[in-house]
Structure 1
Amino acid sequence: MIQLNLPPYQLRVRETNGRKQILDILRRKYVALTPEEWVRQHFIHYLIDHKGYPAPLLANEVPLQVGEKKVRADSVLYDNQLRPRMIIEYKAPTIPLTQKVFEQISVYNLLLHVDYLIISNGIDTYICKMDYDNQTYTFLEAIPDYQDI
């Protein structure tokens, strides 16, 4: 897999029927080791291990419904009252983070109305803090520590 701009962590990878799988600590199961999953697992460990995000308040593959279409947010951070606070969308390291990716996460945010939107391909990461009162957003230079959100 490609080296990411995220800190390494103690990987738990296995091979089953000739296919590699990686342990998803949030879903508590092994999942297919795709390039996007490689990014997701590194990013989740970064949030928990380096930014102080509580694992019990994070969820992967959160089902949403947009009209008749069923979609899944890659990761969602909740507050202690289980209200969504952050949506994180991942792409494989070879996928550029284009306007289309921002539009995808924006659709999810129409449903969840969170304070922070993050998109990452493990190489590049963009963080937006939403300001609903002024109908705008601000790009942040770094992912905030959990205690600062």
Structure 2
Amino acid sequence: MEKLNLPEYNFRTKTENGKTLIFDSIRKKFVVLTPEEWVRQNFIQYLKTEKKYPENLMAVEKQVMVNGKQRRFDLLIYLKSGQPFLIAEFKAPNVKITQDTFDQVVRYNMALRVERVLVSNGLQHYACEIDYPNNSYSFLQGIPEFKEGK
């Protein structure tokens, strides 16, 4: 897999039926290793290791209802209170992240009322905070560390 703009981590992988699988520690199972999954697994490790996000507060690829439609998020991190804290959207490294991509992700997540949004293709990472009263968002300097209640 492609080298990402993240620290390097070791992963459990295996091959089944000609497909490479990677172990997802959040879902507790092996999943097909696609370029997008490679970004997701590396970012999960980055958030856990470097930014101190608790693994037990992470949810991967769960269904949610948004404006009456079923949607699936890539990664959602909760506070201990159960309130969503950060939602992430991952793209394959060859997918360019444009302003339109980010605007789409932010609009999609406005219904969830998540305070922070993260978008990454493994090479470029963008994080923002949502200002719900003003229906706007501002980009952060980097990926925030996990702090309960912040």
Q: TM-score, normalised by structure 1?
A: 0.93
Paired with 1:79 and 1:67, the residues of 2 have a C-alpha distance of: 23
The aligned counterpart of 1:137 is 137
The aligned counterpart of 2:72 is 72
Deviations 1:61-116 (A, max 9, x none): 02122345322000001011111111100000000012342244224313310110
Paired with 1:32 and 1:61, the residues of 2 have a C-alpha distance of: 14
CA 1:67–1:113 in structure 2 vs 1: closer, same or farther (change >3 Å)? closer
Paired with 1:104 and 1:135, the residues of 2 have a C-alpha distance of: 14
Q: Secondary structure of the residue that 1:105 maps to in structure 2?
A: helix
Matched, 1:16 2:16: yes
Unmatched 5+ stretches in structure 2 = none
| Equivalent residue pairs, number | 149
Q: Is the 8 A contact 1:65 1:71 kept in 2?
A: yes
Paired with 2:142 and 2:72, the residues of 1 have a C-alpha distance of: 25
Q: Is the 8 A contact 1:64 1:108 kept in 2?
A: no
CA 1:104–1:72 in structure 2 vs 1: closer, same or farther (change >3 Å)? farther
Paired with 1:75 and 1:104, the residues of 2 have a C-alpha distance of: 16
Equivalent residues in 2 for 1:4-83, closer than 5 Å: 4-67=4-67, 69-83=69-83
Q: TM-score, normalised by structure 2?
A: 0.92
Amino acid at match of 1:132: Y
Paired with 1:38 and 1:117, the residues of 2 have a C-alpha distance of: 19
Instruction: Name whichever of 131-140 and 91-100 sits farther off.
Output: 131-140
Q: Is the 8 A contact 1:13 1:20 kept in 2?
A: yes
Paired with 1:48 and 1:85, the residues of 2 have a C-alpha distance of: 15
Amino acid at match of 1:85: F
The aligned counterpart of 2:114 is 114
The structure with the greater share of residues assigned to helix is 1
Paired with 1:100 and 1:74, the residues of 2 have a C-alpha distance of: 18
Q: Is the 8 A contact 1:73 1:108 kept in 2?
A: no
Paired with 2:64 and 2:146, the residues of 1 have a C-alpha distance of: 24
Identical pairs, percent: 44
